[in-house]
Amino acid sequence: MEKSEKLRSRLLEILRDKSVERGNFQLRSGRTSDYYVDGKQTTLDAEGSYLIGKVLFERIQALEDLPRGVGGVTLGADPIVTAVSLVSHLEGNPIPAFIIRKEPKGHGTERWIEGLKNIAPGSQVVVVEDVLTTGGTLLEGVRHAREAGFEVSRVYTLIDRQEGGRENIEAAGLVLDALFTRDELLVG
- What span, in angstroms and rounded, lies between the C-alpha atoms of 169 and 176? 7
Closest CA to 124 of 96, 104, 103, 102: 96
Instruction: Tell me the domains of the chain and their CATH numbers.
Output: 52-186 (3.40.50.2020)
**Ramachandran assignment for 52, one of left (phi > 0), alpha (psi -120 to 50 degrees), beta (any other):** alpha
pLDDT along the chain (188 residues), means of 10: 87 98 90 94 98 97 94 97 98 97 86 95 97 95 97 97 97 98 90
